[in-house]
């Protein structure tokens, strides 16, 4: 891979040690990233899988930087930050790469220009990378006029997603080649340093304090308010960042749970309805292997943040006390006054909510208040009122990112759903002969005789 493709007028092979000016932070980061992506097999496989590309054993990934296509007029030639080429047999899949670091945001006009270049040169996709967050790679932070039947696909990765993929691979010890593992760790070391310009989502927009004040004072916000779109966009970015934080902590990919077919516009409308109707922002996180989904609720009226998980009550225990004790034992010696237990009852009976510590002191409390009913489920919630910090653009984020992992650490990872025990073997049917055709016929005749005599 010493030369560039013949359809490029200029470009460089992506290098681990690029020779660039000290001021070219973006170019250096792009070159190092693309070189790692091309040289660390599992890293390239992980990232490309997120955009629907599979790397077989014979596939080869090539990466180039600062590319100019021959079809472009020299005096007006645009220069995308990079190009990746996936060769599988005699086929190629190619994607233009555009990156931003630090506080630099993607430019819609520039991205549209790269889409045009892609169409003109038979390029399959454009992938943008920045510190902006989207719920998944197929969603994009720019409002692009891309037709649904366009041959060129558009994807987006946040730098924190790229870092998370590297972190998970290294945590799971998934890199087979020792040298490649060293390369990926050095990339992790480089990209996680503050000088790289890579960062997580750390502040709500300037409209946030006013929205919080309005909702907490009882005002009903109009769905056409100019204050809401920036808040909704920020919330969507923070939910993605939060899922990536948990992913790095747990070593698995945590995602936002959404109804099938939910696109960016529909999701934004759902958030708009929830803010205007309930004064809340909501999200549900899905953690592989966890007992349940984890709903996150930001209540602007109460200035509180909550995370919860739900369990079905064990069916092999008949009393309220026995079913509740099953839950209490899972959480062990937990001593927190901000944990709430919601008990769900059958039929139309409303759920009852108790502080965790009260149930620890008096496990029969719920039994006395619903003597004729038995619980069918439980919801365990960590709820924190943050007061004035709730309306502050940075402190709100830091409090949220403190509460959610703490809830999973102290509660979520301890919870397990009840499973019915395996069916026991009936003693009278211990052998195959006990259930063959003749044995069943004899049993049927015996029952028939008993029925005739009664």
227 lies in the same domain as 192? no
Q: What is the mean pLDDT of residues 44-51?
A: 97
Q: What pLDDT score does 252 carry?
A: 96
- Please check whether residues 98 and 192 belong to one and the same domain: yes
What mean pLDDT is predicted for residues 216-232? 94
Please determine, for residue 422, whether its predicted confidence score (pLDDT) is greater than 80.
Answer: yes
- How many structural domains are present in the chain? 2
Average of pLDDT values for 226-235? 96
* pLDDT at position 180 over 50: yes
Asked if the structure places residue 448 within a domain, the reply is no
Do 71 and 180 belong together in one domain? yes
- pLDDT for the residue numbered 49: 96
Reported as a pLDDT band with limits 50, 70 and 90, residue 177 is very high
Residue 326 lies in a domain: yes
Indicate whether 357 and 385 sit together in one domain.
yes
Residues 212, 313 within the same domain: yes
Confirm whether 444 is domain-assigned.
no
**Distance from the Cα of residue 363 to its chain's centroid:** 36
The pLDDT of residue 348: 87
Residue 1 confidence (pLDDT): 46
What is the predicted pLDDT for the residue at 143?
Answer: 86
- Which of 196, 224, 240 is the C-terminal boundary of a domain? 196
Helix (H, G, I), strand (E, B) or coil at 14: coil
Query: What string of DSSP letters covers 154-213?
Result: EEEEEHHHHHHHHHHHHHTT---SHHHHHHHHHHHHHHTSGGGT--------TTHHHHHH
The DSSP element (H or E) to which 46 belongs, if any, is: helix 41-49
Q: Which of 124-128, 412-416, 428-432 has the lowest mean pLDDT?
A: 428-432
CA atoms in the 13 A half-sphere facing the CB of 46 = 23
Asked whether residue 445 is domain-assigned, the answer is no
Q: What is the pLDDT of residues 270-306, one digit of tens each?
A: 999 999 999 999 999 999 999 999 999 999 999 999 9
Task: Identify whether 400 is part of a domain.
Answer: yes
* Calpha distance 306→1 (Å, rounded): 52
Residue 94 has pLDDT above 50, yes or no: yes
Is 70 part of a structural domain of the chain?
A: yes
237 with 165, same domain: the answer is no
pLDDT band at 148 (very low <50, low <70, confident <90, very high): low
Instruction: For residues 4-9, give the mean pLDDT.
Output: 87
pLDDT at 20 over 90: no
Half-sphere exposure of 236 (CA within 13 A, CB side): 25
Residues 225, 348 within the same domain: yes
Is the same domain home to 237 and 186?
no
How many angstroms separate the CA atoms of 383 and 280, rounded? 14
How many angstroms separate the Cα of 20 from the Cα of each of 30, 65, 198? Answer: 11, 12, 19
Q: Is 310 part of any domain?
A: yes
Q: Is residue 348 part of a domain?
A: yes
Say yes or no: 84 and 185 in one domain.
Answer: yes
Concatenating the DSSP letter of every residue in 413-444 gives: GG-----PPPPPPPGGG-SGGGGSHHHHHHHH
- Average pLDDT of 437-448? 87
| Same domain membership, residue 247 and residue 191 | no
pLDDT of residue 435: 86
CB hemisphere CA count around 240 (13 angstroms): 25
Percent above pLDDT 70 for the chain: 97
190 and 212 part of one domain: no
Query: So what's the pLDDT on residue 247?
Result: 97
Shared-domain flag, residues 188 and 257: no
Host domain of residue 105: 8-196
């Amino acid at each position: 891979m010493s030369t560039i493709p013949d359809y490029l007028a200029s470009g460089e092979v992506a290098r681990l040690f690029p020779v660039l000016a000290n001021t070219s932070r973006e170019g250096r980061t792009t070159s190092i990233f693309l070189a790692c992506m091309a040289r660390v097999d599992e890293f390239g496989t992980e990232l490309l899988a997120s955009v629907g590309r599979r790397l077989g054993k014979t596939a080869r990934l090539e990466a180039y930087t600062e590319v100019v296509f021959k079809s472009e007029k020299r005096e007006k030639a645009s220069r995308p930050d990079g190009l990746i080429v996936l060769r599988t047999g005699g086929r190629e899949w190619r994607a233009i790469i555009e990156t931003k670091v630090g506080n630099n945001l993607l430019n819609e006009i520039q991205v549209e220009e790269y889409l045009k270049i892609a169409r003109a040169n038979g390029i399959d996709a454009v992938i943008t990378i920045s510190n902006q967050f989207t719920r998944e790679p197929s969603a994009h932070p720019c409002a692009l006029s891309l037709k649904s039947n366009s041959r060129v696909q558009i994807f987006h990765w946040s730098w924190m997603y790229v870092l998370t993929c590297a972190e998970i691979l290294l945590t799971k010890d998934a890199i087979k080649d020792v040298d490649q593992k060293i390369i990926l760790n050095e990339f992790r070391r480089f990209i996680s340093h503050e000088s790289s310009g890579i960062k997580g989502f750390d502040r709500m927009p300037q409209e946030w304090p006013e929205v919080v004040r309005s909702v907490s004072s009882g005002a009903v916000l109009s769905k056409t308010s100019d204050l809401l779109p920036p808040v909704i966009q920020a919330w969507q970015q923070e939910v993605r960042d939060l899922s990536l934080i948990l992913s790095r902590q747990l070593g698995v990919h945590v995602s936002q749970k959404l109804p099938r077919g939910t696109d960016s516009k529909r999701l934004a409308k759902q958030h708009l309805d929830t803010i205007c109707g309930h004064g809340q922002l909501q999200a549900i996180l899905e953690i592989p292997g966890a007992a349940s989904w984890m709903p996150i609720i930001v209540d602007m009226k109460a200035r509180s943040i909550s995370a919860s998980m739900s369990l079905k009550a064990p069916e092999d225990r008949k009393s309220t006390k026995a079913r509740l004790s099953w839950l209490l034992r899972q959480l062990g010696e937990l001593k927190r006054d901000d944990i709430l237990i919601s008990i769900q009852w059958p039929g139309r009976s409303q759920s009852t909510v108790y502080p965790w510590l009260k149930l620890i002191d008096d496990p029969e409390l719920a039994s006395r208040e619903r003597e004729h009913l038995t619980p069918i489920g439980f919801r365990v919630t960590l709820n924190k009122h943050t007061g004035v910090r709730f309306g502050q653009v940075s402190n709100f984020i830091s409090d949220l990112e403190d509460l959610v992992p703490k809830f999973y650490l102290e509660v979520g990872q301890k919870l397990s759903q009840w499973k019915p025990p395996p069916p026991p073997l009936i003693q009278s049917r211990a052998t195959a002969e006990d259930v063959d055709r003749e044995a069943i016929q004899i049993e049927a005749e015996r029952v028939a005789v008993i029925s005739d005599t009664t």
